[in-house]
Amino acid sequence: MSADSSTGIAIGARHPRMERALFLYAPLAFALLFLVGPFYWMLITALKPDSDLYDPTSSPLYVSAPTLEHFRYLFERTDFVLWLQNTMIVATLSTTIALVMGVPAGYALARFRFRFSELIGTSIFVTYLVPTTLLFIPMIHVMVQFGLDDSIWSLVVVYPTFLVPFVTWLMSGYFRTIPTELEDCARVDGMTRIGAMLKIAIPLARPGILSAAIFSFTLSWNEFIYALTLVTASTERTIPVGVLVQLTRADVYFWGPLMAGALLGSIPVAIVYSFFVDQYASGLTAGAVKG
Amino acid sequence: MTATSRAAGASPRRRLSDLLEQERVLGYVLVGPVVILLLALVAYPFVVAVGYALSSRTIADPGVFIGFENFVYLWESQIYRRTVRNTCLFTLGSVTIRIVLGVSLALILNEMFPFRRLVRASVLLPWIVPTVLGTMAWLWMFNPNFSVINWALVNFGLVSQGPNWLTDPDLALFSVTLVNAWRGTPFMAVVVLAALQAIPNELYEAATIDGAGKFQRFRYVTLPLVMPVLLTALVLSIIWTFSDFGIVYGLTRGGPMNSTHVLATLSYEAGLRAGNIGEGAAISLTMLPALLVLIVWQLRRIRRSAI
């Protein structure tokens, strides 16, 4: 964030302008085209009438007659509103569960020494690294046993399996950076251990909890394989699965509504993210550095 | 204080709160729910998966124990072998592109230029947006008839006819790899950028005074300080790419002619679409050895840095 630019590369003194253009702006333009270009393409496709979309003579790069017909199709002819609602419910509830379980567990692992605490910490970290694609087949069976198959509640129960390890790991790292003195003082003054955690440590850890919450929310919003395999009724689907399954049926692709759905489905996470860019970046880094 | 409360504390509530004052007890109470959740919904499904993989279970038939027959069958299957090869190429290719682009992007974003914050925020989009939804934009850009990439290639006079990105079996694996790298590059860039910004300026000043040039500053100051973070991001990226499902599923469903199947999509195809649950579970379990090596390596790195 500072004005420091001494990574030790490029920017020299002899031909500063040309060097900047060559080593900074040219690669930057390429990176933006590659990374952000597809979203521009998504946006203008969603706004183009079908007559333009499938006309090879019209230039694909801009919209001459924007229309909302694809969005109307999405709302009137598909279950998009239900998918949106389902995704909201699943993401909110599983994030809440992840925080309620993960924050205290992270605190305990950071502060207390008890038998097997090392082993438990390591196991939680290992489950954070275990990919969901390893367990989706048996998970269907387990959800049937729990009586939760084919409903969004199975997702509310299953998402914490990858959110909780992440939150616990992130938070135990965060609590370790908070000095224990304040909690010690409060306990000398007669506060209980639980009181010290709830009234002192957790409020101090608010930035870390916020990162964990944003992460958990976007991870559940984006989840795909469990949402695809645990839920099959169209009315119980989440946005990523609904958009993909209903708008790319039987090799007939509804490109306009597909792009409109992809765009609308991305906007909520993009908004959450735009408010908390810095927390997001620091959460990413903390997650990577510490785990 | 504790003595008096103990003396007075015959009531069960007092005894409970005394218990919770013990580090050991409170530790178990706070960590317990997480352990129970992970036993019930990670360890137990894992055991079920192993059971399936050793059985002839299908959608229609609970099946019987058949030992390692599923694995032997896979070992001899052309499609499975091809899938293993695809998965390795997919992972290797994607991770290489991520490192090259991610590190370059981090170095660029560490410079000062107008709208830097906006640029930094927008290049993270591929990572933020639901993977499968972002992938749909690529599916449309790779469309055989209306591909904007081909339109650009033809209009710039680079080719007379654009390639079939997803329908040409020789090119499709490259295309899905590229999209995976697109998704993962921002993560690499942001993590490396944070590491770059954490390097104190004094180190560069000291190096300059000692007569280090630009290249030497990069080689002896930047690189060693960024390396640990880069390695961790690398391990995570390998694990996520190796086990990825959404991008291949969204773009090709493993086709054409199984040329883009990775282990996760083949496991879905065999286990759920074709209904051979035992075989499907066996396929996904074969990811385990490679994952274990990476996980153990990462654990040892963390241990070492903790000491």
Q: Please state the φ and ψ torsions of residue B65, each to the nearest 5 degrees.
A: -70, 125
The pLDDT value recorded for residue B145 is: 84
Let me know how long chain B is: 307
The pLDDT value recorded for residue B156 is: 86
Partner A contacted by B136 (CB < 8 A): yes
pLDDT tens-digit readout, A51-109: 888 877 777 778 888 899 999 999 999 999 999 999 999 999 999 999 999 999 999 99
Partner B contacted by A3 (CB < 8 A): yes
Rounded to an integer, the average pLDDT of A259-287 is 81
Partner A contacted by B26 (CB < 8 A): yes
Give yes or no for a cis peptide into B256 (omega within 30° of 0). yes
Q: Which of A256-260, A283-287, B47-51, B259-263 has the lowest mean pLDDT?
A: A283-287
The pLDDT value recorded for residue A287 is: 56
Name the pTM for this structure.
0.90
| C-alpha to C-alpha distances, A65 to A48, A60, B242, nearest whole angstrom | 7, 12, 43
The pLDDT value recorded for residue A149 is: 82
Answer whether residue A227 shows pLDDT above 90: yes
d(CA B293, CA A3): 41
**Smallest CA–CA distance from A157 into chain B, residue:** B41
Q: Do B41 and A161 contact (CB within 8 A), yes or no?
A: yes
| C-alpha to C-alpha distances, B32 to A111, A195, B15, B35, B191, nearest whole angstrom | 15, 19, 20, 5, 32
d(CA A25, CA B109): 11
Answer whether residue A259 shows pLDDT above 70: yes
Partner A contacted by B154 (CB < 8 A): no
DSSP chain A: --S---SSSS--SSSHHHHHIIIIIHHHHHHHHHHHHHHHHHHHHHHS-HHHHT-TTS-TTS-SS---HHHHHHHHHSSHHHHHHHHHHHHHHHHHHHHHHHHHHHHHHHH---TTHHHHHHHHHHHHHS-GGGTHHHHHHHHHHTT-TTSHHHHHHHTHHHHHHHHHHHHHHHHHTS-SHHHHHHHHTT--HHHHIIIIIHHHTHHHHHHHHHHHHHHHHH--HHHHHH--SGGG--HHHHHHHHHSGGG---HHHHHHHHHHHHHHHHHHHHHTHHHHHHHHHHHHHH-
A12 and B214 within 8 Å at the Cβ level: the answer is yes
The pLDDT value recorded for residue A11 is: 44
Q: Do B45 and A139 contact (CB within 8 A), yes or no?
A: yes
The pLDDT value recorded for residue A53 is: 82
Q: Which of B5, B13, B37 is the mutation pick for testing A, counting most A CBs within 10 A?
A: B37
Give percent of chain A above pLDDT 90. Answer: 57
Residues near B158 by beta carbon (within 8 Å), at least 6 away in sequence: none
**Which part of chain B is CATH 1.10.3720.10?**
82-272+281-306
The pLDDT value recorded for residue A4 is: 42
pLDDT tens-digit readout, A144-174: 999 988 899 999 999 999 999 999 999 998 9
Partner A contacted by B36 (CB < 8 A): no
d(CA A245, CA A229): 12
Token pair of B59 as six digits: 């959608």
d(CA B255, CA B284): 19
Rounded to an integer, the average pLDDT of A17-40 is 89
Answer whether residue A289 shows pLDDT above 80: no
Q: Do A176 and A110 contact (CB within 8 A), yes or no?
A: yes
Partner A contacted by B153 (CB < 8 A): no
**Burial class, B77, CB count within 10 angstroms (exposed 0-12 / middle 13-18 / buried 19+):** middle
The pLDDT value recorded for residue A14 is: 60
Answer whether residue A8 shows pLDDT above 50: no
Q: How far is B280 from chain A (nearest CA, A)?
A: 8
What DSSP character marks residue B284? H
pLDDT tens-digit readout, A121-149: 999 989 988 899 999 999 999 999 999 88
Residue that is written with structure tokens 């709302």 in the block: A75
Rounded to an integer, the average pLDDT of A186-214 is 91
Angle at A246 between CA A268 and CA A75, to 5 degrees: 55
The pLDDT value recorded for residue A286 is: 63
d(CA B158, CA B166): 20
Of B52, B244, B284, the CB nearest to A134: B284
- Longest Cα–Cα distance of chain B, Å, equals 92
Interface of B with A in 40-99 (CB under 8 A): 41-42, 44-46, 48-49, 52
Mean pLDDT of chain B: 90
The pLDDT value recorded for residue A239 is: 95
Domain ranges of chain A: 16-67, 73-290
Tell me which architecture the domain covering B82-272+281-306 has in CATH.
Answer: Orthogonal Bundle (1.10)
The pLDDT value recorded for residue A3 is: 40
Record: fold of A73-290: MetI-like fold (1.10.3720)
pLDDT under 70: residue ranges of chain B: 1-10, 306-307
Of A113, A115, A225, the CB nearest to B245: A225
Of A11, A261, A266, the CB nearest to B129: A266
